[in-house]
Every structure is written in structure tokens, then in C-alpha cells.
Amino acid sequence: MKSNLFPSIRLTLVCLAFFCGIYTCAVWAVAQLAPGQGNGLTMNSEGKSYHINIGQAFNSDKYFWSRPSAVDYDAAGSGGSNYGPTNPDHLSEVEARINNLLKYNPNLSKAEIPSDLVTTSGSGLDPHISVQAANIQVDRIAKIRGLSEKKLQQLIVSNTEKALLGLFGTERINVLKLNLELDQLDKN
Amino acid sequence: MNTEILGVILMYATVVALAIPLGRYIGKVFNYEKTWLDKIFNPLDKLFFKLSGINPGNEMTWKQHLVTLLTINGFWFIISVFVLTNMSWLPLNPDNNPSMSWDLAFNTSVSFVSNTNLQHYSGETSLSYLGQLILMLWQFISAATGIAICAVVFNAMKERTTEKLGNFFSYFVRSCTRILFPIAFIGAVILVFNGTPMTFDGKDSIITLEGAQQNISRGPAAAFISIKQLGTNGGGYYGPNSTNPMENPNYLTNIVETVFIFLIPISLVFALGFILKRRKLAIMIYGVMTAGFLCLVIPTIYFEMNGNPAIAEMGISQNMGSMEGKEVRFGSAASAYWAINTTNTSNGSVNAMHDSLTPLSGMFTMLGMMINSFYGGVGVGFINFYVFIILAVFIGGLMVGRTPEFLGKKVEAKEVKIAMMIALLHPLMILGGTALASFLYAGNPEAYAGWLNNPGYHGFGEFLYEFCSASANNGSGFEGLGDNTPFWNISTGLIMLFGRYLPIIGPVAIAGMLASKKYIPESAGTLKTETSTFGILVFAVIAIVAALAFFPALTLGPLAEYFSFCVAN
Amino acid sequence: MTNNTSLFQRSLVQEALKESFVKLNPKIMFRNPVMFTVEIGTFIMLVVSGYSLSNSSQGGFGYNFTIFLLLLLTLLFANFAEAIAEARGKAQSDSLRKTREETPARVISIEKSSDFKFSNLKPSDIQQITSLQLKKGDLFICEAGDIIPADGEIIEGLATIDESAITGESAPVIREAGGDKSSVTGGTKVLSDRIIVKVSTEQGESFLDKMIALVEGASRQKTPNEIALTILLAGFTLVFIIVTITLKPFADYANTPISIAAFISLFVCLIPTTIGGLLSAIGIAGMDRALRANVITKSGKAVETAGDIDVLLLDKTGTITIGNRKATNFYPANGVNENSFRKSIVLSSMADETPEGKSIIELSKIDPLTFQVEGARFIKFTAETRSSGIDLPALQAENEITRIRKGAADAIKSLCEKAGNAFPDEIANRVTQISSNGGTPLVVSENEKVIGVIELQDIIKPGIQERFVRLRKMGIKTVMVTGDNPLTARFIAEKAGVDDFIAEAKPEDKMNYIKQEQSEGRLVAMMGDGTNDAPALAQADVGVAMNSGTQAAKEAGNMVDLDNDPTKLIEVVEIGKQLLMTRGTLTTFSIANDVAKYFAIIPALFIVAIPSLQGLNIMNLHSPESAILSAVIFNALVIPMLIPLALKGVAYKPIGASALLRRNLFIYGLGGVIVPFIGIKLIDIFVSLFI
């Protein structure tokens, strides 16, 4: 034990220097070459900077709504609801969200509502919604903004992020990008 | 075919395709054979040993290995507790985060030193950068501890009679520099190029499109995330782990992070084949692990993609599957796949909230942890599996009418005793811990109301999950549990401690004792451990010893939840 | 000895039934941790039954008492298994013990001086005592018609002896002083002649006494594998103690009260009671089977070790070939008259009492009594000269003594060459030819000149090849030990199908071979009878001494074969394997049963409080009570149903370890999963008629 103790302490210090120092700095140095320089991916629109990977809350009628969030899109304290699937509180919240959707999208039928739009995400910062979730909001937004449904549908198609290589994973839409382009579309 | 399922298949195919060459490489590293990276790492290792005053040629017996392991881990624990309880005045604390309480520091230190990464705190608000860096150091070196001790067991399984099983420090440094460091670096680079932060600046603040202010946590996350995935650590930089879009920005990073979970555990199985020159044995072990994994992952993906029946009943579309606690960019299949990956391997990172999984999926994640050896944690996964092999060898040996032998060494009462104690430990800790929590809660539900985020059977599942996670050194949670209380900090802390070190001590002792026994050459009457029949036996032993003991508990948790809410209606 | 194969004889069953109750004594039960916990559970159920008479919170008295009775029955069944195995062993040993009954012994009371002789024995020197009074080292005398009172070694005389009391073999055998057939066993009967025997063991310490003690269970120690298995089973028991105890707070949390009867039923059904109850019976039955094969083992461990044997050393003669070689051909040397050659051969073999010698005379068709051999000197075979023969006196003064020798080729060759005579090529060729055909050449010389060759041939036992194939499939390497030259040995080895041979074997060769194999980690078994085998018998992991062998050999080995059958080793190996296999398969069966029992009991525990768990009741059992009762009844009944298997042992088939594992895993593993599902369901249908 004694004969191991000092080598152990010294080895730990060497590892500390190597991993916390050299490894971390090396990754940091590489990050300076990466898009966003290691500060997260951002995009600029009309002089404002947005984190494209971080979802934002969209509650107003004129925007495509993003998913419900358990932390109200607090990017400094992310988290999920941690509701069990059969928790009555959870189920009544979902019920309320469905009713809310039906209320604001009167032409919507229940069976069209995708599950992602009535459930909270794991991080509470989900930047995406499913294509279906965007499509069911077209009717509402077209009416409020006075845009043609066709244009909105085109917008959705052009904003649809395909599965990786078209083969792997989900199709989805970044709500922030969609809404930024929606604003652009509206302006023109 | 469904692109979500294709994605899952791609992830598994990738990990196996990478694990074969990596296994060969790891085999060479632990056999001290030449590799093309020697030019870089030989001088680096020499420097490590010189600075540490270690003679890597000094071979150790199994007891010396264990003493060394416990000494260095003990030292880490002391440092960890010191840093976490004194963060407030130590440097690198720009956000002025407070020091941890004693019980939380104890829990967190055990958690990270034991490769568990159970987090009863939220990273963004509870840790200084120094705290994060120290924890990242443990993520590297606790993983290296597991790999190194696994290398000792591999060494002991060779066909010879010996007391000397290599040098622990040497295995440890090789694991750090030659295995973990290069792969983690590659992973971190991929992450930063996909938008994961790697900065020492503080929080960012923006105004959202709707005009609200949004503060965005950043930090040196990419370096941290890469190793937490690779080393089956799992402790996230952000509170909700890899669900957070900073931590896991897109489907590609999700593939990388998922592949990293299994990469080293599977590679080590292949490495065993190369080290012992017993490819068939490695394939048998890999086959059993894979069969077990498939038994858990296929139904989980099915249930998650099918959606939550309670919500389906409301009449909405279930095309996306059960999305509560999941991210759209991963989808329900990749999230279910990750859930089983992370619980089978004692990784414990998540890309979806496990508390919100449908009841049976929740059960399968728990089963993964209860068994804890389908691939398992880096190094220790195989060591856990080794115990089941010993038990299967014993039963199988008797069944063919011969005193049981494993790789030419007789398995006798002493080894069976140790193997049985280790097999017992897991049910004892999980069921015992859950019993204690249930007893306290049932006696006074009001006093402990803060514990549970969910009522009824699911609440029981939260207890059970937490103790599974601690005992299996997993670190994930049914996060609804209000777990930052002295009861949970101390009970899970102790369980993580025992759950880490006893299952290392036991198998290493068995392997060491077997190594010093006389080697018996194989004959036609010897039980062949490389056959599929033996694989079935191992699988049956695992199913009956590890899984069946939890049947009553699971019945009152997820099964009751499933039958009451998902079937009866 | 009787080899009654009926498993359940009336008298034995009665005795075993009585013993089953005696064995309920906790002190005895404590030796078996699995069943001891059942006994505790049974006791608790007795208390609960009493309590339920006055208070119905734990369910009705009838139900509780039924559970109590069923648990008691489980215990009794387990005890019965052990008791019947012991009783069978006892019956077996009783028949042996009969030979141990008091018999008169005529002990010689004179000073045991070394120059003591038969001839100068006076009647007054002989004292009449009983066999029980004999001590080790005593000398006694036996004449035709006497029962030999104790084990011993003949120090003078020769006798035909009827050993049927021990071996069941009715043909009398000859035992004589000196050599390897000097040992006599107490209880056997002298048919002719008179012998003086030295008592070789103290009363109560003979092999037979030890064996009797072993099978009766009195001094039975657990074997290493049995200890390991007991640990495994104790471990399983502990797991289920944890499962059962923690279930209480779980149920409290879920507001599902569980009765004590249900807790204890769950526990008893889950712990491996089947193998726990049968474990000691299996061990006893293993030794009993050895005894039935007329093999006396000194310890249970030896039987177990026999199952692990990797290498089997077998003497050629008697094991691989029938008895002895026979002369088949005479080849006179060039220029030697055939008739005179024959004459010389017969002269040289006249004093040769070995079967080979006799067969030479038989083949020559010359009556040796026609020769005048007065004054001739017979040269006995010795290991150094490896030849025998005769020195005929010179008939006339000028004549030389005629020295006829016959022996191994190289021995005669060196004899001739020493005298300056060449060893003819033609003879050398003949020797090689005979050897390579599996024959044994004996070269004959007269006055150090080669006069011809005798061919001896071995006859390989019919059916022996199949046995070796069987052994090879069992993973056992067979080694033939023979004094023959390497060529002959190779021929016979190939013909018989043994894997290796030791030719021109001297006793130390055997020893060295064993040590060599052992140093490579293999376990070696051998059989031997002679005193010079004793070191090798002691060195071997399993040494089987023949009962007819010397005392030294019997002391050195760890088994004694009463039949003196050299092929017995094969049987012993199979008995050892069977013993381990029976334990392994029943353990597997027992543990595999848990799957079904879980599915019977777990839904029953919770279904009242959580009716939706009906979905787990996949057997669709009638009610919670009937489900629990059915599981407990099944658990109890399976023990007696498996007693015959435990006693007879699982059949060993030499099909290779992997195939054997597949087979046993299929039958006892998969069977162990399926059978209880069916059994419990059937019992439930029956039980539900009453509740």
C-alpha cells in the first residue's frame, strides 16, 4: 500500500496535467477552427444572433409553435418533465395541450395531431418539430398572416431537414429557422 | 424500410465494424506487441512513468493489483471530496457556484471515481469549472481503471500457471494514453465541428424571436462529452445529458455518441479473443451478450415507436411514437436504442428521459442494469460476465460429468463461493435499497412526498431504477426522483462504492487463483466453453440468476403499470 | 454378494420411512442448508396455523395447515431420498458384513520367529479364538472347509479358495504364499489345502469396514464438488431469502398485503429444494453403485475423481488380451533339426510353470516326462536375464553341460554375442517379422548358439476395441502397459485401438509415465495387483488394486476391485461421471423450475390488490390459493418423482462433452422449464375441485 501511494499520487497529477491540461487545450484549439469557434452554432438574421441548435418558445399564433417545454426553453437550466407515461398529471397536461391545439387550429382533427407537439422534450430545448407538426399549423398561420397555404407548404418543404443521407433517422423541421423564414416571407 | 430503424441498424453495424479492428489494437496494446502508434506513445508512456516514479516492468500478483487499484482510487476519492466541498473559494469559479454539501460531495465523488456518474446535482448550476475538470479527469481515469483491471483478468486467463499478472500502472497508463485519449479526442473534434461548445467563456444571452431573453449555458463541453460517452461514464455536462442540443446537436453526433457507448465494451470482448488467441471464445461471449442485448432492445424500440397507449387513447397520431422526454431530431427509435445501450453498459448518459419511457421499456432499461453484463461498462462489463461464465462452467461441467474446468483451470469450491457472493451482491443491494426506500415511504408518505415525481407503480419504479443505477454503476435515473437528500446521497453512495469495488475484487481474485492453478490440457471430455451450447447455458444462468430475482419487484413496478394502464384499457 | 436392482424393496422403504422422521431433527437438517431453511419455514407455518385458529388475518386455518402439511411432506420426501439411498447402501453392506460375522479362528500362539515352519507346528501351538479377537499381525491357520476369519496375507502354503461370498464368482481361485496372489479376504472359504495367514488389518479397519461406514453415511464426508455445489445452492437460497424479505416493504408500498403462508410458499418454491433434497442421496447412491460393481472405494472423492480421469493405464495381459500368450509356431534356425529343436524347447520349458511355458509344451506334442532330467538345474526367469532355461548335466565326463536358454531376443542375443557367437541375420529377421505381426518371439539358444525361435501370439479380447472407442469419446487416453518389445506392443496397441503403450515396461516405467502425465496436468488411473505396482498405485490419482493382489497394493490404491477384473476401471470412470452428471442435471432442473413457479405464485400474490396482473397469470390458474397450493404441491412431489433418477444416476453416453451438454441442457434445462408449467397446471385443475 505504502509503496503504491506515492506513485499513485504522482501518476494522478500527471494524468491531471495530461487530460485537464493537454487534452482539453487540444480540443479547445481545434474548436477555434470549427464553425462557431466552440461557442455553439449561431446564425445571424437582421443583425440579431440566434443559436440554431437551441429551441425557442413560440407561443404566438403567427409563428409555428415549437414543442411544449418543461423548463420553458430555459437554456441555462434545461430538463424534461420526468413524468411517467401513466402519470395522471401528465395525461391531463397532454389533454389540455390537445384541446389548446384544437382551439387555435379549428380545422384540425384530433387524429392529425402528432405526439411530439403535445409532449415535452427531454431537454426542454428541442429546436425541432416533426413535419406533420408543421403541416397542421399551416391553416392557422395562413389565416392570420394572410399567406397562401401553398407558399407555407413550400416553406415547410424547403425547411424540412431530411434524414441523414436520406436513409438514417428522422425528418424534422427547425422551428426557429422556419419562423425566421416565415417572417422573411411575410415581409416580401 | 423505416429510416428510424435503418438509423439504429447503422449505429449497431458501425460499432461492430469499428470494434473488430479496435479490439485487435487493444489486444496488441495489452500483449505489448508493436502498433503503429508506438512512435508517439512509447515516449509519452515513458514520460508518465518517469514523472510518477513507476517501474512498469514490476509484475504484480492479483492481490497487489487490487491493493494498487484501491490505493489510487482511494486517493482520487479524497481529492474529489476536497475539491467539491471547497469549490466556492478554489479557482476557476467564474459563476461563483457554491461548494457542495458533505453528503452530495460524498455521493458525487463516489459516483465519478466509481465510473458511475450518478448525478444528484445539475452540472450548469452546481459545479465550478474546476469541479467539471476534476470530474472529467475521473471520467478518463476511472474508465482506465476498469480497462486496466480487465486486462489483468485477460492476462490471468492465458494458458499457463503463474502468480504474476503484469503491472497495474502499466495497464492503466496504456489504457489512458493509447486507448481512451486518441478516441476521445477524435470524438471531441467531431462534436465541436457539429456545434457542441468548447469554450471558457461564460453564458451567452440572446433575445428570442418572440422577444424574450434566453440565457444559454456553454463551457468546455465537447472534451467532457466525448469521454463521458467513451468511458461508459455517462455524467453529462448539462443536466439533461445528451438530450440537450448543445451536448448532442444532431443525428450525426447522436450516432457518434451512441457508437461510443458500446465501442470499448465490445472491443474488449474481441480483444480477449486476440489476447488469448481464442477467437471462438470471444465470439461465444459476444454472441451471448448480443442475444441478451437484442432481447432488450427490440421490444424497447417496438414499444417506444408504438407510442404511449395512454396518449394514443386520446385519439392523436402516434406516428412519432412516444415523444415525452424525447427529442425530435433523434426520434423514438434512436432514443429507445440509446436507452438500452446506456443501461446495458453502465454508461448512464441519456438522450431521452427514462422516467418518461413507456412502462415495459422502463423495465427493459432496468433489466439491462440488473444484468449489467451485456457488453457492460468498460472493462468491468466483461468482469461481470466472467462471474456468470464461472457459474455456468460449474453447472455445465457437472452436467458433462467432470470436475468443472475453465480454460484448463479447475473451478472449485473457493471460486464458486466468490462467484456466488458477487452474483448475490447485486440483488441484495438493489432489492435491499429499494426495500428500505419503500419501507420509509410506505410508513409515512407525506414526509417523503418530495421523493416521487410520479405516483403509484411508476413511483416504485423510480426507487427501483435509482438503486439499479447505483448498483450497476450506471448513473442514469428516473430523474423525477427527488434524489438530492441525505438518504439518497448516502444510500446510493454506499451502493455505488460496493457495487464498483466488490465486483472487481471478486472476479480478479477468481481469475488470479485460477491463474496460479495447474493447467490441464483439453480432452474430448472437457466442457468446451467456445460452443453455442455453452453460450446458451451462460445466457440461461444470467437470465435465471440476474433477471429472475427481480421478477417480483418488476411485477409491482413496470409490469403492474403496464397491465393496469396499457393493457386493461 | 447380491446385486438386487429393484429400487424400492419393501423392507428398505419401511426403514427409510422411519429414518425420514428421525432426520427431521434440526441438528441433522443443519448439514443441508437448503432443506434447513425449509424446516424453519415449516415451523413458522405450524405457528401460523395455530394462530389462524383464533385470528383470520393470515387466512383460514385449513389453508395454512395444508401449506404446513405440504412443507412437512417436502421435508419428509427429501429425508426419504437420503434415507432410501442409505438403506440401500446398508443392505448392500449388510450382505458384505455377513462375511464379517464371528467365525472361529485358529490362531498360532508360538513365538513368531522367522524360522517358523509349517512342518514343525505342534497342535499345542494352535489356540481356538473368535475372529473378533484377531489382531493385526496375528497368524492363523486355515484348512479345507474353514471360513477365513480376517483379511490377511498367506505366509505359507497354497490353497484353493471360494470367493463367491465377496465376488459372486463361483469358480474357485488359487492363492499362495509369495508373489502377487497372496492375499485372502475374510469371509471367503478355503476349499482345499492348508494355509497360514498373517492378519493384515485391525478389526473394523479393513476396506470393507471403511466402505460400509461410507455407504451408511456415518463417516461420509462431502466431496470437493459436492461442497462447491452446496455453496452454489446456499447462494441461490440466499438470493431468494433476499427476494422474499424485500417483497414485504414492496407490497406495503403497493398496498398489497401478502400472507405469511404466501411468503413462505414463494420462498420454498424458489429455493432449489429439488436438488437440495436429493443431493446427499445422489452421493450415497454413487458409492452404492460402485459397491454394486464390486468396487470398494476408500472415499467418495475417489469415485468423483474417477470421473475426471484423462489417462488410463491398462495392463495388456488380462485386460486387452485374453489371459496369456500361446505358442503358435516353432522356427528352427538354419541347419537345426526340427525334432531336436523341439526337444530342446521342451527341455527348457519343463520347469516353466507359466501359461506360456505350458503352451509351448502343448504345441510340441512331446510329453516332457519322457526325458531324463536328473541332476538338471532349472534356471528361473528373472527380470535381469529376461530368460529362463535348463542346465543339463554332462552325460559323459568329456561332455560339457548343456545350457538351453529361451528368452527375449535381445537377451539371448547379448548372451550369444558375449560368448563370441554371432546372432544369425535370418533369426533377427524372423524376430522382427514375428514382432511386427503382434507376436512375441522367444529365441532359444543351446550353449550360447541360437537354435531357433518360438512364436507366441496374443489374442485380443473380443469387444475391447469398442470399449476403447467409448473411452476415447469420453476424452480418456488409454495406455497399454506390457513387457513386450516395442514392435509387438505397437501391433497389439493398434489392433486393440489403445492410444499409447509402454513397451518392455519395468515397474518404474509405469511410475514415470504417471508422473509425466500428471506434470502436464492430467489425471491418471491405473489398476494393479503386485507389490511392485504399489508405488504407481499410490502415485496415480485413481489406483484400483485387485482384491487378489498383495496387501501393499491394496494399501496403496484408493479402490479395491473385488472381481479382479482389469476392465473394471472403465466402469468406475463411468460411475464417477454419472455421479457428477446427476448432480449437475438435477441442479439445472431444479433451478429451471423456478420460471414456472414464479409465474404461478407472483400473480397469485398480487392479483387481489392489482386485478390487472391477471395478464401475468399465463397458466390461467384457478385462484390465488389454488395457484400457491399447486406450486407447493408440485415442489413437494417432484422430489420423490426424481428419487429413482437420483439413485440410478443419469445415463452417461460417451458422445463428447459438447453433445452431452446439449443433450442434458435440452432434457433437464428446457424440460425443467416446461415440466412444471404442465405439472402445476394439472395440479391446479385437480386442486380447484376442492376449493
Q: What is the pLDDT of residues C314-329, one digit of tens each?
A: 877 767 776 667 788 8
Q: Cell numbers at residue C42, please?
A: 415449516
Size of interface B-C (CB pairs under 8 A): 220
User: What pLDDT shows up at residue A29?
Assistant: 93
Give the C-alpha distances (Å, rounded to integers) separating B355 from B348, B363, B365, C26.
Answer: 13, 11, 10, 49
- Compute the distance between CA of residue C483 and CA of residue C510 in angstroms, rounded to an integer: 11
Closest-CA residue of chain A to B334: A169
Chain segment B103-124, per-residue pLDDT in tens: 999 999 999 999 888 888 876 6
- Compute the distance between CA of residue B230 and CA of residue B134 in angstroms, rounded to an integer: 17
Residues C612, B563: contact at Cβ < 8 Å? yes
Choosing among B391, B398, B541, which should be mutated to test the C contact, i.e. which has the most C CBs within 10 A? Answer: B398
Residue A105 pLDDT exceeds 50:
yes
Least trusted range by pLDDT, from A19-23, A86-90, C550-554, C665-669: C550-554
Q: C559, C482, C493: which is closest to C525 by C-alpha?
A: C559
Residue C150 pLDDT exceeds 50:
yes
User: What pLDDT shows up at residue B151?
Assistant: 93
Q: Cell numbers at residue C130, please?
A: 473368535
Chain segment B283-322, per-residue pLDDT in tens: 999 999 999 999 999 999 999 998 888 888 888 888 888 9
Residue A1 pLDDT exceeds 60:
no
- Compute the distance between CA of residue B369 and CA of residue B341 in angstroms, rounded to an integer: 10
Q: How confident is the model at residue C115 (pLDDT cuts 50, 70, 90)?
A: low
Terminal Cα-to-Cα distance of chain B (whole angstroms):
31
Looking at residue A16, the DSSP 8-state letter turns out to be I
List C residues 569-608 in contact with B (Cβ-Cβ < 8 A): 576-581, 583-585, 587-588, 591-592, 594-595, 598, 602-603, 605-606
Chain segment C501-524, per-residue pLDDT in tens: 888 877 778 888 888 888 887 888
Provide φ and ψ at B136, rounded to 5°.
-65, -35
Residue C209 pLDDT exceeds 90:
no
Size of interface A-B (CB pairs under 8 A): 380
Residue C532 pLDDT exceeds 80:
no
- Compute the distance between CA of residue B290 and CA of residue B221 in angstroms, rounded to an integer: 32
- Compute the distance between CA of residue B376 and CA of residue B365 in angstroms, rounded to an integer: 13
Residue B529 pLDDT exceeds 60:
yes
- Give the list of residues 6+ apart from residue B186 with CB closer than 8 angstroms, or none: B226
Choosing among C223, C226, C238, C239, which should be mutated to test the B contact, i.e. which has the most B CBs within 10 A? Answer: C239
**DSSP states along C129-143:** EEGGG--TT-EEEEE
Cβ neighbours of C584 in B, within 8 Å: 395-401
Average pLDDT of chain C, as a whole number: 82
User: What pLDDT shows up at residue C396?
Assistant: 63
C499 or C101: whose pLDDT is higher? Answer: C499
Closest-CA residue of chain A to B47: A14
Whether B324 and A85 lie within 8 Å, measured CB to CB = yes
Q: In a 10 Å sphere around its CB, with 0-12 CB exposed, 13-18 middle and 19+ buried, how is residue B414 labelled?
A: middle
Chain segment B227-264, per-residue pLDDT in tens: 999 988 888 888 888 999 999 999 999 999 999 999 99
Residues B207, B238: contact at Cβ < 8 Å? no
Q: C-alpha dihedral over C554, C559, C560, C562, to 10 degrees?
A: 180
Chain segment B320-352, per-residue pLDDT in tens: 889 999 999 999 999 999 999 999 998 889 999
Please tell me whether residue C624 adopts helix, strand or coil conformation.
Answer: helix
Residue C42 pLDDT exceeds 90:
yes
User: What pLDDT shows up at residue B553?
Assistant: 92
Chains that touch C (3 or more CB pairs under 8 A): B
**B160 at the C interface (CB within 8 A)?**
no
C140 or B146: whose pLDDT is higher? Answer: B146
- Compute the distance between CA of residue B434 and CA of residue C247 in angstroms, rounded to an integer: 10
Catalytic residue among C151, C288, C315, C352: C315
Q: C-alpha dihedral over B252, B254, B259, B262, to 10 degrees?
A: 180
Residue C214 pLDDT exceeds 70:
no
User: What pLDDT shows up at residue C383?
Assistant: 66
Q: How confident is the model at residue C1 (pLDDT cuts 50, 70, 90)?
A: very low
Least trusted range by pLDDT, from C129-133, C215-219, C370-374: C215-219
The region that residue B115 occupies, defined by phi over 0 for left and psi between -120 and 50 for alpha, beta otherwise, is: left
For A5, which of B71, B243, B319 is closest by C-beta distance?
B71
Residue C398 pLDDT exceeds 70:
no
Residue B532 pLDDT exceeds 80:
yes
**C618 at the B interface (CB within 8 A)?**
no
Looking at residue C367, the DSSP 8-state letter turns out to be -
Interchain touch C–A (≥3 Cβ pairs closer than 8 Å): no
Residue B364 pLDDT exceeds 80:
yes
Supply the ipTM of this predicted assembly.
0.94
Beta bridge partners of C295: C561
Percent of chain B topping pLDDT 70: 99
Q: How confident is the model at residue C206 (pLDDT cuts 50, 70, 90)?
A: low
Least trusted range by pLDDT, from A100-109, C111-120, C666-675: C111-120
Q: Shortest Cα distance from B10 to chain C (angstroms)? A: 35
Least trusted range by pLDDT, from A35-44, B273-282, C28-37: A35-44
List C residues 623-652 in contact with B (Cβ-Cβ < 8 A): 652
User: What pLDDT shows up at residue C333?
Assistant: 84
- pTM value is 0.86
Least trusted range by pLDDT, from A73-87, C230-244, C657-671: A73-87
Query: Residue C674 CA to chain centroid, in angstroms?
Result: 35
Chain segment B375-410, per-residue pLDDT in tens: 988 989 999 999 999 999 999 988 888 888 898 888
Q: Cell numbers at residue C398, please?
A: 568329456
Whether C657 and B402 lie within 8 Å, measured CB to CB = yes
- Compute the distance between CA of residue C525 and CA of residue C543 in angstroms, rounded to an integer: 6
pLDDT, mean of residues B163-167: 89
Residue A5 pLDDT exceeds 80:
yes
- Compute the distance between CA of residue C674 and CA of residue C666 in angstroms, rounded to an integer: 11
Chain segment B29-56, per-residue pLDDT in tens: 999 998 888 888 898 889 888 888 888 8
- Compute the distance between CA of residue C125 and CA of residue C138 in angstroms, rounded to an integer: 13
Angle, vertex CA C133, rays to CA C128 and CA C135, nearest 5: 110
The position carrying cell 470399449 is: C467
Q: Shortest Cα distance from C455 to chain B (angstroms)? A: 38
Whether B460 and C657 lie within 8 Å, measured CB to CB = no
Residue C312 pLDDT exceeds 50:
yes
Whether A169 and B334 lie within 8 Å, measured CB to CB = yes
pLDDT, mean of residues C396-407: 75
- Compute the distance between CA of residue B410 and CA of residue A10 in angstroms, rounded to an integer: 40
Whether B560 and C598 lie within 8 Å, measured CB to CB = no
User: What pLDDT shows up at residue C587?
Assistant: 92
Residue C546 pLDDT exceeds 60:
yes
Percent of chain A topping pLDDT 90: 26
C209 catalytically annotated? no
Please tell me whether residue C483 adopts helix, strand or coil conformation.
Answer: coil
**C248 at the B interface (CB within 8 A)?**
yes
Whether B560 and C661 lie within 8 Å, measured CB to CB = no
Q: Cell numbers at residue A110, please?
A: 384530433
B524 or B285: whose pLDDT is higher? Answer: B285
Q: Cell numbers at residue B566, please?
A: 396499457
Looking at residue A17, the DSSP 8-state letter turns out to be I
Residue C2 pLDDT exceeds 70:
no
Report the run of H or E that residue A149 belongs to, with start and end. helix A149-159
- Compute the distance between CA of residue B273 and CA of residue C338 in angstroms, rounded to an integer: 71
Chain segment C215-247, per-residue pLDDT in tens: 665 456 677 888 899 899 999 999 999 999 999
Residue C63 pLDDT exceeds 80:
yes
Residue B269 pLDDT exceeds 90:
yes
Whether A111 and B565 lie within 8 Å, measured CB to CB = no
User: What pLDDT shows up at residue B291?
Assistant: 94
Q: Cell numbers at residue B236, please?
A: 453529462
Cβ neighbours of B452 in C, within 8 Å: none
Q: Cell numbers at residue B405, please?
A: 474446468
